[in-house]
Amino acid sequence: LTLPALGFGSAHLGELYAKVDEADSRATLDAAWDSGLRYYATAPWYGRGLSEHRLGGLLRTKPRGEFKISTKVGRQLKRPKDPKTFDRSPWTGGLNFEVVWDYSYDGIMRSYEQALQRLALDTVDALVIHDLDREYQGERFEQSKKEISESGVKALQELKRTGDIQAYGMGINSDEALETVAPIVDLDFCLVAMPYTLLDQKSLHRGMAALQKRGASAIIGAPYASGILVTGSTGPAHYAYGKASPEIQARVRGIEAVCKAHNVALPAAALQFVLAHPIVASVIPGAAKPSEVVANVGHVNTPIPAAFWADLKAQQLIDPDSPVPAGK
């Protein structure tokens, strides 16, 4: 499976921070297509099915050979017992569907089949094991690990062997999980959501290095660190899907000062930094407005001088061993 360097992350269309009306959602997706984006990433969890429905509304109208799409497995969706009182949190909007965790062979196959129906597609290019993480699952975590390693991975291997999918990977939310959870099954890639960004390179010599040694690729799923690397240190300042700490905000202010000195946009630095790592195949920033899509495309193509990266290293704002773009 070969992916373009820049893709489209569709979590925002699931309405995490704010509701997105149908017209804005479709306009955003149309802008992505019109801007030349041809890799789309989604998941059943995003808006409890809403993101997949919205994305499928666009892609089912396009020639199947002209785009790549990945979705995630490990969660199934079902009708809640009482839809009138159902709590959709953490989603601001989304749909009324309850989550059922299941990483077994049957669970992976059912999750895959449900996703195809929501997308209105008969194939996806890659499947991603989603949120196999103690923080999300609590007491169920050990059972989930056992399910994926004993039977769930067999479903993914079978789907790849038969040509239903071209690759499978695992979504990773933390530095610890990249080191301890990602190795439990053989993978083609990891979708790295937070452990490798312009703000955090602790995984450089550990988790990312281990992936490289295994011959696995990486897709960077949260290049803006869930918000702060596009909004900056002021305003909402979201980091790791919550409020940024004073320490993180101070670090961002340091990077912003270097950006100002070199006339570099902070989001451009965030996107181009992660793409410089040799195992990173694609980066998938999110967008909820057409203007955000256009901005992402522009940021990837904006020239950044080599002196900018040198100053970040000199001021210890990024790991001195971090791969960086050659400079333009």
Catalytic residue among 17, 39, 40, 46: 46
Cβ atoms within 10 Å, residue 189: 23
Token pair recorded at residue 167: 């690759």
Residues 176 and 132 sit within 8 Å (Cβ to Cβ): no
Locate all alpha helices (DSSP H) within the chain, ordered by sequence. 22-34, 50-59, 105-119, 134-137, 141-147, 153-161, 175-180, 207-214, 228-231, 246-262, 266-275, 290-301, 306-314
| Chain-centroid distance, C-alpha 51 | 13
Token pair recorded at residue 280: 């990173």
Residues 218 and 275 sit within 8 Å (Cβ to Cβ): no
Is 112 an active-site residue? Answer: no
Token pair recorded at residue 33: 């297509």
Active site residues: 46
